[in-house]
Amino acid sequence: MWAFLLVFAKTYAENESLVDAENTLRFAVNQVLTVAKNSRNRVELERSVRPILERYIDFAKMTQLAIGAGWRALSTLQREQAAVDFTTLVIRSYSDKLKPGEFPEIEVRSARDLGQGRVEVPTTLRYQGSEYEVAYRMHKMNQWRVTDVIIEGVSFVANYRSQFDEIYKRGGAEAVAKTLHTTANRMP
């Protein structure tokens, strides 16, 4: 009886956690889309969307995941700079996929547990007659935060990781930090 209750309680807590992740994402996406709809131009959109993304995306973790092996070779100062640069790059890239004045339809589907406090929340984005599958990988520290966005099977983190890997192979951690800084400061 006690064993049954324990299993039931655990399953209930896990499901609650998944629903919590879905709701966090739904809330975050709605905020982003509302800001995008009310923005008059791209500059305003990027500026307005930044605080929301900073609240719901774990940029430090994302930077670490994207840089991968090179991360350990960076000094504390370089890591901080890399996180700032990568944040700029992610926000710019994400904002670029939104159009000022438009509000695409997004359906948030059931999250699946990836283990170790991580979940994946699949969503379907419908825009101008086309459908796109966008999945958000999230992990929980104090709250659920996004650590990767997978658009039509293309992982944002893995894609950057493959690029950093190439640079790391050729020039080491210094080259990674320098190239990231140059790219983040390149005019879009």
Partner 1 sequence: MKKFISNLILILVVCFIFSGCATRQAAEIGEVKTTSRAGTISQSKSFKTTKDSLEVPVEDELGSFSEHRTHVFDPLEPINRAIFAFNHEFYRFVIRPVADGYEFILPKIVREGIDNVYENLTFPVRFVNHGLQGRFDRAGKELGAFVVNSVAGIGGVWHPSEKIEFLKDIPKADTGQTFAKWGIGHGPYLVLPVLGPTTVRDFVGMVGDYALNPVSWATFAFGGEVWTLAITSPNTVRTLPKRMDEYDAATKHAIDRYTSARMTYIHFRNKHAKR
Q: Residue holding tokens 């926000």?
A: 91
Residue 96 as a binder of partner 1 (CB under 8 A): the answer is yes
The reply on whether position 118 binds partner 1 by CB under 8 A is yes
Nearest to 177 by CA among 97, 99, 80, 91: 80
- Binding to partner 1 by residue 58, rule CB under 8 A? no
Is there binding between residue 178 and partner 1 (CB under 8 A)?
no
Q: Are 165 and 68 in contact (CB under 8 A)?
A: yes
- Residue 107, helix vs strand vs coil: strand
Applying CB under 8 A, the span of 51-59, 76-84, 100-108, 151-159 interacting with partner 1 comes to 151-159
Determine which residue in the list 17, 23, 81, 183 makes contact with partner 1, applying CB under 8 A.
183
Tell me the number of residues near partner 1 by CB under 8 A: 43
Please say whether the beta carbons of 25 and 95 come within 8 A: no
Among 56, 59, 136, 164, binds partner 1 (CB under 8 A): 164
DSSP string of 138-165, one letter each residue: EEESSSEEEEEEEETTEEHHHHHHHHHH
- Interface residue with partner 1 among 38, 93, 143, 185 (CB under 8 A) is 93
Q: Which of 16, 80, 107, 152 binds partner 1 (CB under 8 A)?
A: 152
Backbone phi, psi, residue 162, to 5°: -65, -35
Three-state DSSP state, 108: strand
Give Cα 76 distance to the centre of its chain: 23
Options 98, 100, 125, 161; binder of partner 1; rule CB under 8 A = 161
Binding site for partner 1 (CB under 8 A): 64-65, 68-69, 71-72, 89, 92-93, 96-97, 112-116, 118, 131, 133, 137, 148, 150, 152-155, 157-169, 179-180, 183, 188
